[in-house]
Amino acid sequence: MVFINHPLQVNLFINLSFSPKLVLVFQFPSHFFRFPSFRSFSLSLPRFISSAFVSIRTYTLRRPTPLEAGHCPCKIPMAEQGKKVDVDKLLLLADDMVKVLNTKKEGDVLVQTCDSAITIMSTFLSSSHDVHASIEDCLKKVDACKRNVEKVKSESVPDDELVRIQKVLEEMNKVEESLLQELRGVTVELEELDHQRISLEGKKNNISQKEKNVAKSKKVLSMCASVTNVVPNLYDQDKVSGYILDKNKKRVETFEFESADSDACNKLWKMLSK
């Protein structure tokens, strides 16, 4: 099992199949997992022990916990630091580990474990870079906000100036209200003038119509006078009256009959025939 508990350090925990009560704990630098030879190293762990590329930071022989004996992928407690181990036991244990890792099954498991470690390390580095970029972006935004706050504070208007501006604004509001009142009065006057204009236009149309009617009546009377020598009095609606024109004698004779007189036409013709 492989656990990453520090950005620069990877711990490798190996439960020995022939002795489930013993656990090997190795700690190597995390940069080793970026080497191309890491996969071949996983197939020949005994040579790695004597290799100069990676140093064994800690080696501890201890009894496993129940979780470690069951290969549970959770956090394994660290061994007691500073406890020394006999060299002979270490060599015997190394030989036993060589025998165990020489089997294909254990080698495949170790290869898969190392691949998982590489994936985890890559994900961790990517996430770390993203978090670092986000932090820098947040810091830039905080600095920008601070600058904006300082700018607003520097551009703020003093209290005396605010009072003066408030008074000027109140005066302008009063002037505006007065102008609005005057505007309302002018609007009312304009409406009244518009009503008067409409009334005058109506009267003008009536006068024009009456003038047309008078001209028409004059033409009718002129025609009657030319044809019949009779000019009726159209203004007297109670009686049948008018004038008889005699062009030869150059005289005008009036006539008047009651409206109820049924023989008015005969009398009028007699007067015309004289």
Question: Cα separation of 115 and 94, whole Å?
Answer: 23
Q: Does pLDDT of 209 surpass 90?
A: yes
**Half-sphere CA count of 36, side-chain side, radius 13 A:** 0
Would you tell me how many other CB atoms lie within 10 Å of the CB of residue 273?
A: 6
Taking the CA atoms of residue 38, residue 42, residue 47 and residue 48 in that order, the dihedral angle to the nearest 10 degrees is 50
Q: How many whole angstroms separate alpha carbon 28 and alpha carbon 58? A: 9
d(CA 76, CA 84): 20
> At residue 227, what are phi and psi to the nearest 5 degrees?
-90, -45
Q: Torsion angle of alpha carbons 59, 117, 69, 21, nearest 10°?
A: -20
User: Are 93 and 41 spatial neighbours (Cβ–Cβ below 8 Å)?
Assistant: no
Has residue 207 got a pLDDT over 90? Answer: yes
Distance CA 12, CA 3 (A): 7
Q: What pTM was estimated for this model as a whole?
A: 0.30
pLDDT over 90 percentage in the chain: 20
Residue spans of alpha helices (H) in the chain? 38-43, 45-49, 66-69, 87-101, 104-155, 159-228, 264-273
Residue 124: how many CA atoms within 13 Å on its side-chain side?
Answer: 17
In three-state secondary structure terms, 257 is: strand
pLDDT at 177: 92
CB within 8 A of 61, min separation 6: which ones?
A: 22, 24, 85, 89, 90, 93
The answer, yes or no, to whether residue 206 has pLDDT greater than 50, is: yes
pLDDT the model gives residue 106 = 61
Is 260's pLDDT higher than 90?
no
**C-alpha closest to that of 20 among 65, 77, 58:** 65
Residues 6+ apart with CB under 8 A from 261: 240, 267
Query: For 212-252, how does the pLDDT look when each residue is reduced to its tens digit (9 = 90+)?
Result: 988 888 888 787 777 777 777 777 767 777 777 776 767 77
148 pLDDT above the threshold of 70: yes
Helix (H, G, I), strand (E, B) or coil at 239: strand
